[in-house]
Amino acid sequence: MTSLRIAQAQINPIVGDINGNFEKIRHRLDESISAGVDLVTFPELAVTGYPPEDLLLRKRFVIENVEALHDLAESCFGVSALVGFADIVENGVTNAAALISEGKIIAVYHKMELPNYGVFDEKRHFKPGSQCLVFDISGVRFAVTICEDIWIPGSITETCAVNNAADIILNISGSPFFAGKYQIRKNIATRFAGAVDCLLFFNNLIGGQDELVFDGGSFVIDSTGMLISSADRFREDLLITDIEISPKPKPQTGWNAICHSLNRSVSKGNGRNYIEPRIAQELGEVEEIFQALTLGVGDYVRKNGFKTVVIGLSGGIDSALTAAIAVEALGADRVVGVTMPSLYTSNETFSDAGALSANLGVELISVPIEDILNSFLKVLEGPFRSGSLGLEKENLQARIRGAILMALSNRFGWLVLTTGNKSETAVGYCTLYGDTAGGFAAIKDVPKTLVYELSELVNRKAGKPLIPDSILRRPPTAELRLNQKDEDSLPPYSVLDSILKAYVEEDAACDEILGHPPELVREVARMVDRNEYKRRQAPPGIKITPKAFGRDRRLPITNRHTQYTRRGS
C-alpha cells in the first residue's frame, strides 16, 4: 500500500489579474508544503482566471500568464503541483495544465475536449490537445484531465486512463453553477471513475465572474460513486485528503501519453499524522441559489472596484430580495436604498420600503418624483398633442426613477443594482432606461415564484421577518397607474413561470407545452419573442438556471421565425 496526501486548492481568481492570481496560488503552495502534501491541484486556468474570453487574443496577456507559470515552477520546492494556465502552441493557444515540481515544469497537458455550447465558447479561443499526460508518484499513476475531458463518454482521455492503468484521475475544472449542477458533476465523475476503475479528484474554482458564478464543491469520489471527501461550496478552501492505495500493475509501454515518474515531494511515511476525510454539508436548492446570488453580487462589486451599491426600494418583493442579497454580500453599510414615491405609490408600499431598510440596517434616501413627472408632462404637452395619457406616462415614471438612481451613481460612484426578475424580463414587463437602468441585475435569472421562496429563506435564516410579511403578501404591482396589478397584464406568476420554463429553458414549441390554454401559451411566447431587443440592452445578471438570457440564449432581434405558428399557416 502507498500512502499519499493530496490537496485541492479551491481558489477564487480574478480574470486578468495574473499577479494577484500568482500570489494566491503561491500562498496555497506554501500551505500545502506546511501540511505535508505530496501533490496539490489548482483549478482550470487558475493563472489567467476563468473564462478569460477575448483576453486570449492579446499576445501580451498570454505571454505574461506563461511567464507567471514559469515563476511558479521555479519557486515550487517541497511539493508537486498541477496548475491550470493558457499555453502557447503553434498557431494558437491551448487550455493547459502544468505539472511542476522541484523548481521546474515537468510536463504540460493540453485539454482535448473543448465545450462550445451554452456559456462555453472554447473553440473560439483554444486549440485542442492531442496527447494525454500520465505521471507516477511512488508507483501510483495519475492521469490528468481538464473539465470537459471527463464529460464525454469514451473520450480519448478515458481510453488513455484505462490503457495506462491509471490509479487516480485528476480533473481541474471551471464548472459554472446553476441549480442542481453539483449533483450533475458528481454523476459525471462517478461514470468516469467507474469506467477507469479508480479514484477521481475533481477540483473546481469558486467566485463570481460577470454573469457566471463558480461554486467550488471540489470532491474526491471512488469508482462506485462513494464520496470520500468534499470541500465547501461558495468559498475558497484547501481540501486535503489522505489516501492509501495499492497501485495497479502497469503496462510495459504507455498509450498515447507522456509519462513521467516523480519522487515523493514530501516523504513522511507513517510518521505523518492521518487527516480524517472531510465532507461538506449538502445544500438545498433554494439555499444554494441564495449563496450563488450572494457570491455573484459580492464578487462583481469587489472585483470591479465599487464600494457601495444603490437600489431603488419600491416596497415590492423584488427590490426587497435584491437589498437582502446585497446586505448579505457586502454588509449593510455598503448598501443604500432609494424610495421614489409618486402619486400612485400607496402608503403601504411607501411604509414597507422604510420598514425594510430599517430591518436591514441600510440608509434610505427619499426622492419624490411627482413634481419631476409634472414638469416632463408640461414640456411634452405640445409634442404629445391631444388625447389621454397612457403607457408613455407610466414608463416616464420608471425612467425618471432610473435617471435619479444613475445620478446618485455618478455623484457618489455607487453601483446601481437593478431589481427585475426573469419572469418580467422574459415577457418585457419592464421599461427600457427605467427599471432596467443600472450596472448589474442581481435577480435577472430568478423566476418570480422563486423570488418568493428566496425571500422566505431570508427570513428563516434571520429568524425574523427582515422582509416584512406585508411585502410577501401584497399582490405584485408596478404602481405606475391607479390600482395597477401585475396580473392586469400578465397571467398569474405560477402559470407564467411554468410556461416560461418550457418555452425558454427547454426550447419547447407552443404545441408541446401542455396543461395551459393554447392561446395563453401562444401569447406568452409572442411576448417573449418580441422583447428580445429589451433583453439585449439590459445589464448583466447572475446565471442560476440551466438556460439564462444572454450568454446561454442568443436569438436574433430581427427574426420572423416563431414557435407559435407553423410554416404555411
Name the 3-class secondary structure at 42.
coil
* Cell (9 digits) for 250: 502497469
Residue type, 127: K
Query: Please, what is the Cα angle at 233 between 34 and 416, to 5 degrees?
Result: 115
| DSSP single-letter state for residue 541 | B
Q: Is 111 a catalytic residue?
A: yes
In 3D, which of 191, 264, 245, 38 has the Cα closest to residue 202?
A: 191
What's the rounded Cα separation, in Å, for the pair 65 and 96?
11
Q: Is 282 a catalytic residue?
A: no
In 3D, which of 266, 280, 293, 246 has the Cα closest to residue 76?
A: 266
Q: What is the CA radius of gyration of the chain?
A: 27
Phi and psi at 549, nearest 5°, equal -65, 145
Backbone torsion region of residue 398, taken as left when φ is above 0, otherwise alpha when ψ lies between -120 and 50, otherwise beta: alpha
Name the 3-class secondary structure at 84.
strand
* Cell (9 digits) for 497: 413561470
In 3D, which of 136, 365, 173 has the Cα closest to residue 257?
A: 136
Name the 3-class secondary structure at 143.
strand
Chain centroid, CA 535 distance in Å: 19
Q: Is 44 a catalytic residue?
A: yes
Catalytic choice (24, 44, 303, 501): 44
What's the rounded Cα separation, in Å, for the pair 164 and 174?
26
Characterize 127-153 residue by residue with b for buried, 16 or more Cβ atoms within 10 angstroms of its Cβ, and e for exposed: bebeebbbbbbeebbbbbbbbbbbbee
Catalytic choice (76, 147, 160, 510): 147
State the number of CA atoms in the 13 A half-sphere of 330 facing the CB: 31
Q: Scanning the structure block, which residue is given the C-alpha cell 416563431?
A: 562
What's the rounded Cα separation, in Å, for the pair 140 and 260?
11
What's the rounded Cα separation, in Å, for the pair 227 and 277?
10
Q: Kindly list the distances between the CA atom of residue 470 and the CA atoms of 318, 479, 482, 542, in Å, as whole numbers in the listed order.
A: 13, 16, 19, 27
Catalytic choice (24, 76, 111, 132): 111
Edge-to-edge strands of the sheet including 39-41? Answer: 104-110, 92-101, 80-89, 39-41, 2-10, 237-245
In 3D, which of 425, 375, 431 has the Cα closest to residue 402?
A: 431
Q: Scanning the structure block, which residue is given the C-alpha cell 407564467?
A: 496
Name the 3-class secondary structure at 176.
strand
* Cell (9 digits) for 289: 441559489
Residue type, 136: D
215 strand-pairing partners: 206
Residues with active-site annotation: 44, 111, 147
